[in-house]
Amino acid sequence: MSENESRPVVVGVDGSPASLAALRWAVEDARRRGCGVDAVTAWHADYGLMIGPLPAEVFAEVSPQAMKAAAQRVLDRAVEEFEGVEIRRILVEGDARDALFKASEDAALLVVGNRGHGRLVEAIIGSVSAYCVHHASCPVVVVREAEVAQERPVAEPALPLTPGPLL
């Protein structure tokens, strides 16, 4: 087995149709390579955009524990259907771009969808796929949204928008 075959295929998973297609692509590629898959989901709690007091039920939904649990459910639901290849579930607190960049350092390949949670989030925090293409330490495959038009997301209702500090 070559060094590249022992390194995993890393895939970003956020529950969007494009990320689910990227996960399927990554699993098939890992089968061909004879390696495992690292499915990475990032979550981040940032209260910088919330102004004023919050009702207790809203605060409970955006607490770090609730956001982490929601991200874990998205990751678990996304990978549950796959068999025949080892899939390591990696939940990371932080920005998806940083999490995927760090995961790419030990990867044979990084696979991402071309669209995540939507154009508004992309406009605010930038494109994860574009960042990965320019900064990853390994080859990157971007699975285009047009290829997954009929997919439905496994994500629960949208997680709160938490883009982090706007500089």
Could you report the per-residue pLDDT of 113-166, keeping only the tens digit for each? Answer: 987 555 555 554 458 888 999 999 999 999 976 544 454 455 454 444 444 444
Residue range of the domain that includes 59: 9-148
Q: What pLDDT digit, counting tens, does each position of 78-112 carry?
A: 999 998 899 999 999 999 999 999 999 999 999 99
For residue 58, give the CATH number of its domain: 3.40.50.12370
Q: In what order do the strands lie in the sheet with 140-143?
A: 87-93, 37-43, 9-12, 109-113, 140-143
Number of structural domains (the chain) is 1
Is residue 23 situated within a structural domain?
Answer: yes
Any bridge partners for residue 17, and if so which?
Answer: none
Is residue 50 situated within a structural domain?
Answer: yes
Is residue 127 situated within a structural domain?
Answer: yes
Is residue 72 situated within a structural domain?
Answer: yes
d(CA 125, CA 128): 8
Is residue 58 situated within a structural domain?
Answer: yes
Is residue 155 situated within a structural domain?
Answer: no
Determine the pLDDT at residue 114: 86
